[in-house]
Structure 1
């Protein structure tokens, strides 16, 4: 007659459970680390897309854009690893490698001080990655050295993009919507006043209402707007003029049927007045810190065009 199997002791059972817990914990930790890395890569890709969209280098449908002149944007594709774009088709959907190539070659971060003077991260002894991570939530505009991105012009065949050939600048915008913080980008032409485009890459606004700040239908109202608000006479005192873009309640044509204020305002979103107010405040508060730098751009643009420097009324 076979002898009955002896049941495992309590000590053995406990030891098995402990080992199993450690194994499961190790597996979960490994998966979490891998997932965090993937999430980080996805977030970096999305921010690159959003920044390129604000600069009118990338379309929300997934292809690059090329300005053929006078803001005539056509579908484009990556031609070289120097970030050069050539005319393409809407079917030329850009993959992640192409997006990062254009972003890394054509969007260049640098710093400006309280007087608007430029410096590099290297010259300032600041690590770019650490700076971006440490101050994103509190706002780069609140730092002694403030973040700006330079949009380099499309390079010629076989040549690297040049810091001397600039199409505009991108500012990181932060503020609060109805429910939580909102983060986005505002691209301004090299004249320091004209909006190229905008995007919002993070928010918790209500879908179908405030969340429309991230929709192309809302963002399409911004290109061509002026961030320095003109006086009722139509002249702009750049040194003192209010800065920002106002999201009105309703339609700009109804709120400002005449006068220059319409140049610095966009149509509001139905049912999302408070989110619109938050967007307005975000632009106003962020850009205020960059006025000295923007004034330098305005003055340089004025000198290039041969008109009087706009230190006062223009």
Structure 2
């Protein structure tokens, strides 16, 4: 073998060895860090739930865990029937993962897919804020497409199952300064106290362009649209109509009203 060929072979061998070592290192790191990533995602979700419930939004990790475990009770529900499911663990069950599994979800098309999510899981997790065994609010996971992204968030409602406690999104990729204003505390402060349903249980909450007229009889279930972000505002409006309707939490909320929680 010529010295040139020998040099090329050695170079390739060194490159291959380095690639293999690097691959093993990266794979090992990913495996080692996975539990930490899972824990951080859970912590972020718990932090968002506590903030939307009005229980604090500037808490340490230890405070989040302690407060969540002492005040929040999670339940898995069947969206189709509105019944509780006791065979699934609300801590480990992942509704978003289930929504991508044809065996655990249903395809949506046309007018039934108001939120533009394509598939809806059969089961999801809801959260009850409790104090001394009494429910103070109910927190529902919501999601839907805005302008550029799917907005993931929570809607907190009072035990009358009609009055908003808070609404917020913990994940989205909307335009900063426009659709991204869904994160603006000023806009989020418009939601508490708004009503969601009419006397027949039909969703009536509405985001309106141009601002809500305080003198209007509809003002109690209307919220100002985001300035300069019509499509994001429309997306939030649609996702609320979807998740409060028959395809979403409608059957569950109807049962709660009948049972008096």
User: TM-score normalised by the shorter chain: which range applies?
Assistant: 0.7 to 0.9
**How many angstroms does 1:251 deviate by?**
1.2
Matched, 1:150 2:107: no
- Alignment partner, residue 226 of structure 2: 269
**How many angstroms does 1:187 deviate by?**
0.7
Helix, strand or coil for the counterpart of 1:279? helix
Change (3 A) 1:258 1:7: closer
- Alignment partner, residue 213 of structure 1: 182
* CA distance in 2 between partners of 1:128 and 1:45 (Å): 12
- Alignment partner, residue 205 of structure 2: 245
Helix, strand or coil for the counterpart of 1:237? coil
Helix, strand or coil for the counterpart of 1:174? strand
- Alignment partner, residue 108 of structure 2: none
C-alpha RMSD over aligned residues:
2.8
Tell me which structure has the larger Cα radius of gyration: 1
- Alignment partner, residue 66 of structure 2: 101
Alignment check: 8 A CA contact 2:99 2:121 kept? no
Q: How many pairs were matched up?
A: 239
- Alignment partner, residue 55 of structure 1: 53
Alignment check: 8 A CA contact 1:247 1:267 kept? yes
**How many angstroms does 1:32 deviate by?**
4.2
- Structure 1, unaligned stretches of length 5 or more? 1-5, 63-93, 156-161, 231-235, 305-314
Change (3 A) 1:127 1:187: closer
Helix, strand or coil for the counterpart of 2:94? helix
Alignment check: 8 A CA contact 2:168 2:188 kept? yes
**How many angstroms does 1:127 deviate by?**
7.0
TM-score for both structures, normalised by structure 1: 0.67
- Alignment partner, residue 111 of structure 2: none
Q: 2:254 aligns with which of 285, 291, 295?
A: 295
**How many angstroms does 1:31 deviate by?**
4.0
Helix, strand or coil for the counterpart of 2:45? helix
* CA distance in 2 between partners of 1:34 and 1:291 (Å): 42
Change (3 A) 1:214 1:191: same
* CA distance in 1 between partners of 2:24 and 2:121 (Å): 40
Q: 2:216 aligns with which of 223, 245, 258?
A: 258
